[in-house]
Amino acid sequence: MACNVTERQRAGVINPIFTCQPAGAQFASIGIKDCIGIVHGGQGCVMFVRLIFSQHFKESFELASSSVHEEGAVFGALKRVEEAVDVLLMRYPHVKVIPIITTCSTEIIGDDIDGLINKLNDELLQEKYPDREIHLVPIHSPSFVGSMISGYDSAVKDIVKYFATKSEPNGKLNVFTGWVNPGDVTALKHILKEMDIDATVLFEIEEFDSPLMPSGQHVSHGTTTIDDLKSTANASASIALNRYEGGKAAQFLESKYGIPVTIGPTPIGIRNTDNFLQNLKQITGKPIPRSLVKERGIAIDTLTDLTHMFLAEKKVAIYGNPDLVIGLAQFCIDLEMKPSLLLLGDDNPNYGEDPRIKELKEKVDWEMDIITNADLFELEDRIKNKGLELDLILGHSKGRFTAIDNKIPMVRVGFPTYDRAGMFRHPVVGYAGAIWLAEQMANALFTDMEYKGEREWSLNVW
């Protein structure tokens, strides 16, 4: 009995867990204020990504496409980017930042977007828009390597690298949230406020839970400004909550500007949130206030009510973004559950060196498989054909049919989640996230017991 880390053995991916690198770059770009990314590729590279964002957040987002067609795919399509930049600037007078995001096709044909950006800076922007502040940022995101996770990580780094400008120290903390939900950002900002920490929350997407205002505004935008990005080089420290989603940018700021970096922990569960608060205390010197100790106490009380009676020994499969999956697995273990299968949807070679995975390999004393480069067929195949018995599945909506078909209770968590209402509003991080997750898991099990006619539960002995 042990924790094994292996790569998917079968050739071909069936029902992928992730989408491609440009999707991650697009998610980073919509976290910036006054920004619309141009995806240099076929229109579907934007259309489907926008659709997933809209399905998940139930909001509308602005992203543009250079809309490469056959001629461009054969002879080069830089002209399409030139036209796209001009059209975008004409139609959107407020736009200041345009990340130009490559795709598989335009990387293969070798379109030189860096050279084109130099040309546009020297010609179009000077001649036609001399009085506007405009930043064209090249983002290379070929989709034949990595995944939406590495695409997000690289784009965040490229954008920070472009803007970061050394001047006077600002005494602030850079916080790279990673690929989270608005509810997570609200929970993180709450913790920072309670600890009286002045922080710049980067690629900030709290307003993806947008109000419908009398003005009729119906498009969601991130709120990270150009000044926020510039000032990242003047912070007192950086903290990247997710190793694989923002970690690169934080490490860049350390190597180029000497900004000390703390990577993780992804504050999912009590243990990780405790460590996160201790890190904040150590970095800033600010004490942990009684209000957060009380919130922790409420979370512990909630978990105490649920763990031993209902959650202990339950076998769980978890898939999705790697930091989320690992954080959820750690939390489940603290709840005396038994994560049996973790599916990481890409082939990042660094997973084997991840200290959290090393810790799982050392400490887990039951059968746990961690599969890299995994797909959702792996989950289905193991349940149907290889005797994997599960009490619960944690993951995003793309895997729901495996849960439904095999009558396994499921808690929707991660991106994209579109078949349950309002999931983006609830945090998985912090003490609030620990409460929400534990209650969701317990309620999923309770509902399952009702449907399966477990009389003891139906007679309500709790």
Contacting residues toward ligand SF4, per CB under 6 A: 20, 22, 41-42, 44-45, 103-104, 143
Q: Which residue is nearest to ligand SF4 (CB)?
A: 45
Bridge partners, residue 395, by sequence: 412
Q: How far is the CB of 42 from ligand SF4 (least distance, A)?
A: 6
Cα separation, 59 vs 393, in Å, equals 27
How near is the Cβ of 144 to ligand SF4 at its closest, in Å?
Answer: 8
Q: Compute the least distance from the CB of residue 398 to ligand SF4, in Å.
A: 15
> Rounded to the nearest whole angstrom, what is the least distance from the CB of residue 103 to ligand SF4 in the complex?
3
Minimum CB distance to ligand SF4 smaller for 113 or for 335: 113
Task: Pull the structure tokens for residue 193.
Answer: 């406020």
> Smallest gap, in angstroms, from Cβ of residue 87 to ligand SF4?
21
Distance (Å, rounded) from C-alpha 78 to C-alpha 274? Answer: 50
* Residue 273 CB, nearest approach to ligand SF4 (Å): 35
What is the rounded CA–CA span in Å between residue 64 and residue 338? 44
Strands of 267-409, DSSP E: 315-320, 338-344, 368-372, 392-395
Chain centroid offset of residue 399 CA: 17
- Measured in degrees and rounded to the nearest 5, phi and psi for residue 128 equal -100, -25
- Compare residues 76 and 142 and give the one whose CB is closer to ligand SF4: 142
Tokens 């709450």 belong to residue? 190
Give the bridge partners for 341, in sequence order: 317, 369
Burial of 389 (0-12, 13-18, 19+ CB in 10 A): exposed
Q: According to DSSP H, which parts of 307-392 are helical?
A: 322-334, 355-363, 376-385
d(CA 338, CA 323): 18
- Residue 18 C-beta: closest distance to ligand SF4, Å: 11
- We find the least distance from the C-beta atom of residue 345 to ligand SF4, in angstroms, to be 14
CB of 73 to ligand SF4, least distance (A): 11
Rounded Cα distance between 303 and 271, Å, is 13
Nearer to ligand SF4 among residue 41 and residue 399 (C-beta): 41
* Of 66, 67, 86, 75, residue with least CA distance to 110: 75
Edge-to-edge strand order for the sheet containing 38-40?
Answer: 64-65, 38-40, 97-102, 135-139
Question: Shortest gap between Cβ of 102 and ligand SF4 (angstroms)?
Answer: 8
Q: Where are the alpha helices (DSSP H) in 123-206?
A: 124-128, 148-163, 182-194
How many Cβ atoms from other residues are within 10 Å of residue 363's Cβ? 9
- CA–CA distance, 209 with 297 (Å, rounded to integer): 29
CB 197: neighbour CB atoms within 10 A? 18
Instruction: Report the distance separating Cα 271 and Cα 248, nearest Å.
Output: 24
Q: Enter the tokens of residue 159.
A: 């954008």
**Minimum distance, C-beta of residue 155 to ligand SF4, in the bound complex (Å):** 13
Which amino acid belongs to residue 424? F
Give the DSSP letter of residue 238: E
Are the C-beta atoms of residues 170 and 197 closer than 8 Å to each other?
A: no
β partners of residue 316: 339, 392
- Work out how close the CB of 113 gets to ligand SF4 at its nearest, in angstroms, rounded to a whole number: 14
